[in-house]
Structure 1
Amino acid sequence: MGSETPLNPVWTTQDVLSTLPHPPEENSASPVPFFHLLERLKTTKREGWRRFGIAYGESISDHMYRMSIMTMLAPPSLAAKLNIPHCTKMALVHDMAESLVGDITPVDKHVSKAEKARREGEVMDFLTKNLLAGVPGGALTGEEIRRVFQEYEDNETLEAKFVHDVDKMELLLQMVEYERAQGIDLSEFCHVAQRIQLPEVKEWAATVFKEREAFWKEKAANGNSSS
């Protein structure tokens, strides 16, 4: 009995690595194995859109790229209080664990929020200790990547709150862009705007919702005129 495989084995980073055709070399003095792992962020799609038939939608790195640009365009009233380069770094790091965890969304009921956090923390520890510990530090060491990730997760600093808001704002932008491109109703994602904390980012969201309202009004008008 004691040797039986559990029905729900504990997820581990090493189990995922064992499935990869070319797992990254560990304990290297070169950052190249880490660079290769980041490729998975380029090819892993954001799961929320796939449920609506958007099979060739944005990747995780697509999402983080636009977030990073957005942090550099913080409104002046907010930028004066923020360490903008740190925010940009956080935007580039915050979903890095998804290179091995994948994109787990709130509708994935088989993975709790606590379990998602555990998996992501384990992957960030792997990156820090197994891939980057022996790499000579540049502008961003493995330990700093881990600290920046944890700061985002804790969501206590103004920089973390801003990047969390930008994360939601980027989703709203993509929501409207997919609606325009494919004519599908993605209102399921509108609730994200209610969780935006900072007034400056709320203004950005309000602009996007005005665009969305105008699009659907025009679409309805064109539909009525053609019937």
Structure 2
Amino acid sequence: MTISNDTPPTANGGTADEATQTNGIQDPEASKLSKEDIKQNGRWTVESVLSEITPRYAENTDSPVPFFHLLERLKTTKRAGWCRFGIDNGESISDHMYRMSILTMMAPSSVSSKLDILRCCRMALVHDMAEALVGDITPVDNVSKVDKSRREAETMDYICDKLLGRFNGGLNGKEIRELWQEYEDSVTPESLFVHDIDKVELISQMVEYERSTKCTKDLGEFSWVATKIQSKEVKEWSDHLFRERLLLWKEFGKEPKWADGMKIPEA
């Protein structure tokens, strides 16, 4: 069964695809703020966030420990999209990135023979790192994709230059920054695979939340992200999850909703 090809709006006025926050912005200059930009009242900057953190992370040291402390924010910051649907005790940003990294390791030989899977695993672990300070922005926050990209790039510059720039000659920070930018640019085969993994991880979590709520919450609008999956192998995982979803809802005598543009696999 195929449904129309229009992108569905979410309950908050954005689209399900936007809610994944895979922005695809190829704007390496987005983080280059002028002094005038920083002076503008209300403009988001790393400094505006750091000013509220006590104690502040020690900068320009030869130790990675301040960076270790920053990572704690990824463990405690919830993925905002689920929160807006009333999911209690939802996953953190770290939870999401951890499972993504494991999923990259499950790549079959048809994929792993063509890609650097270790690089994919590392990319998955850093792709949302900027959210430690930026937070998990959703469409309801009214932040444009360009501004979201600017905030995240500025944060990664802070992490990799001021927190890690003097540790081990700056090599570790440089590698993290390059991995993050590669994911954002979405050009290399590895980055495209990790984007697919990002989507199938979301679909996995969607089905699991529906199961945990005994299908009292229908998160079907997020199913639209599957239409953006490029890898045949990852698409097969997505189809498997959707077949699980159909059987799950059938157990409760209900029909789940699906996003527009979906080709629904048979149960």
TM-score by length of 2: 0.78
Give the distance between the partners of 1:31 and 1:63, measured in 2 at CA. 23
| Alignment match, 2:89 | 56
Give the distance between the partners of 1:109 and 1:100, measured in 2 at CA. 15
| Alignment match, 2:79 | 46
| Alignment match, 2:204 | 173
| Alignment match, 1:92 | 125
Letter in 2 for 1:81: K
Q: Which runs of 4+ in 1 moved over 2 A?
A: none
Give the distance between the partners of 2:238 and 2:150, measured in 1 at CA. 31
| Alignment match, 2:14 | none
Give the distance between the partners of 2:56 and 2:241, measured in 1 at CA. 41
2:178 is matched with which residue: 124, 147, 165? 147
Give the distance between the partners of 2:238 and 2:44, measured in 1 at CA. 36
| Alignment match, 2:166 | 134
- What's the offset of the Cα at 1:128? 1.2
| Alignment match, 1:70 | 103
- What's the offset of the Cα at 1:109? 5.0
| Alignment match, 1:13 | 46
- What's the offset of the Cα at 1:28? 1.1
**Which residues of structure 2 form unaligned runs of 5+?**
1-38, 255-267
TM-score by length of 1: 0.91
Most deviating of 112-121 and 17-26:
17-26
| Alignment match, 2:18 | none
Give the distance between the partners of 2:160 and 2:72, measured in 1 at CA. 17
Partner-residue secondary structure (3-state), 1:26: coil
**What RMSD in Å do the two structures reach over aligned CA positions?**
1.5
Partner-residue secondary structure (3-state), 1:104: coil
1:108 is matched with which residue: 140, 146, 151? 140
2:226 is matched with which residue: 193, 196, 216? 193
Matches within 5 A, 1:150-165: 150-165=181-196
Cα deviations across residues 166-214 of structure 1 (Å, max 9, x unaligned)?
0000000000000000121111111011111111110000000000000
Percent of residue pairs bearing the same amino acid type: 60
**How many residues end up aligned between the 2 structures?**
214
Q: Is 1:35 matched with 2:35?
A: no
Q: Is 1:118 matched with 2:147?
A: no
Give the distance between the partners of 1:37 and 1:79, measured in 2 at CA. 32
C-alpha spacing 1:203/1:137, structure 2 compared with 1 (3 Å): farther
Q: Is 1:205 matched with 2:241?
A: no
Most deviating of 188-197 and 38-47:
188-197
Partner-residue secondary structure (3-state), 1:169: helix
Letter in 2 for 1:160: S
Structure with greater helix share of residues: 1
2:113 is matched with which residue: 75, 80, 102? 80
Give the distance between the partners of 2:194 and 2:169, measured in 1 at CA. 25
- What's the offset of the Cα at 1:92? 0.4
Letter in 1 for 2:176: I
